[in-house]
Every structure is written in structure tokens, then in C-alpha cells.
Structure 1
Amino acid sequence: MQFLNGITLLLVYQLVGEITVRLAGVPIPGPVLGMVMLFMTLWIRGKTPESVEQASSALLSHLSLLFVPAGVGMMAHFDRIAEEWVPITLALLLSTVITLVATALIMQVTTRWLVGPLANGEEAGDE
């Protein structure tokens, strides 16, 4: 019963995200907005309900099955992918490099911000 309660709650957040996106015309996917809303709710509560934890663990244990539709889609559109392999490859490589650079820069800024005062010999309470 815990699993059903958890999966229902996850689907309700997805539905609320979809409805919000359609009503507000926000240019992001509804499930992403629902996930952000769920994250904010869990962050405010400070803990994850047992039902959500059980449902999410069950979904994560079968995560590989969720990639099957994507693989089928790639095989169904293999001809188009074969025709457009150069732009697809360039987009993948460029987006990977941009992501790596952005992640490295964010990590450096965050590390300086969090560790900076401690690295200068100051204690956490000193100003």
C-alpha cells in the first residue's frame, strides 16, 4: 500500500506540473516542473515520506527498462539518424564540452565560496 501511495503522489506532482505548464504557457516540460515542485516540498518538509521513498526506490531499481522506448525510437528513426549523423555528433560533443566547462566553473566558484574563509586561516565564526 505504501508503494501505491508513493507512486500516486509522484504522479499527482507530475499532473500538477503539466496543468501548470499548460495554463501558464511556461516553456518547460510539465514533468520537470512537477519534479521541481516535489523537490521544493520535500526540502521544506525536511524529510522524504516512506511511501515516496519506497516508490522511488522501486522505480530506480527498474530504471534500465525506462530506456527501452528510447532505444526503440532510435531504431525506428535509424535512417534519419544516419543522414544527420554529423550535426548530431557535433551537438553531442559541443554540449558535453559546455557542460564540463560549466560544471568545473561552478565547482570552483562554490569551493571558493564555501572553503575560502577556512583556507585563509579564519574560523567558521570569525568575521
Structure 2
Amino acid sequence: MNYLRQLGILLAICVLGDVLSVLIGKVLPGNVLGMMLLLVLLGVRLIKCRQVEHAADFFLKNMAIFFLPVSLGILGLYAELHSQLAAILAVCLITTFLTAFATAGTVHLVLRLQQRKAAQKGGDR
């Protein structure tokens, strides 16, 4: 029963994200708004991690299954995409490297901030 309650919470937030998307004129997709809403609710502690962790873990462990329909849909459009294959691959490679660099930069920044904070704590004694 706990899994159903957690799934219900996640689905309710997803539906609320879709409703918000319609209300703002579909400027942002409902799933993105739902994830942002979940982040805010977790951040302000209206929802505790333990209230959704088992359902969220299930989705994370089975994420590959959710990409299967999209992948098959892309394969169905192969004939139309074939002429643009080089451009699509270039965009995939470039964005992969940009994401890796952004992630590395973020990790580097966070580590520097943590070291600075630790040094300040050490100096306060």
C-alpha cells in the first residue's frame, strides 16, 4: 500500500504539472513543470523524501523501459531522418561534451566552495 501512496503522490504532481502547463499556454512541458514542482515541494519540505523514495527508486531502476517506445518511434522515422543523420550525430556529440564540461565545472565549483567553507570553519576556532 505504501508504494501505491507514493505512486499516487508522484502522479498527482505530474498531473498538476500538466495542468500548470495548460494554464500558462504550454510555454513549458507539463512533465518539466511537474519535476520543478516536485523539487520545490521537496525543498520546502512539504513532501519528505521518504514519502516518495520507493516509487522514485522503482522508476530510476527501470528507466530504460521508459525510453523504449521513444527509441522505437525514432527507428520508425529512420527513412526521414537518414538525410539528417550527420547533423543529428554532431548535435548529440557536441551536447554530450558540453554537458560533461558543465558537470565537471559544477563539481569543481562545489568542491571549491566546500573547501572554502571548511577553511572558514577551521579559522573560526
When normalised by structure 2's length, the TM-score is 0.81
The residue aligned with 2:63 is 63
Deviations 1:101-127 (A, max 9, x none): 222222222222221354xx5534629
- Which is bigger in relative contact order (C-alpha 8 A, separation at least 6)? 1
**Number of aligned pairs?**
124
1:19 paired with 2:37, answer: no
The CA distance in 1 between the partners of 2:64 and 2:117, in whole Å, is 43
Matched, 1:103 2:88: no
Question: What residue identity is the alignment partner of 2:124?
Answer: D
Q: CA RMSD in A?
A: 2.4
Distance of 2:108 and 2:22 partners within structure 1: 38
**Per the alignment, in what secondary structure is the counterpart of residue 93 of structure 1?**
helix
Shift in CA distance, 7/123, structure 1 to aligned 2, threshold 3 Å:
closer
Identity, in percent, stands at: 27
Q: Which runs of 5+ in 1 are unaligned?
A: none
Mapped partners of 1:82, 1:56: distance in 2: 36
**Equivalence for 1:35:** 35
User: Which blocks of at least 5 consecutive residues in structure 2 are unaligned?
Assistant: none
State the distance in 2 between where 1:67 and 1:101 align.
Answer: 25
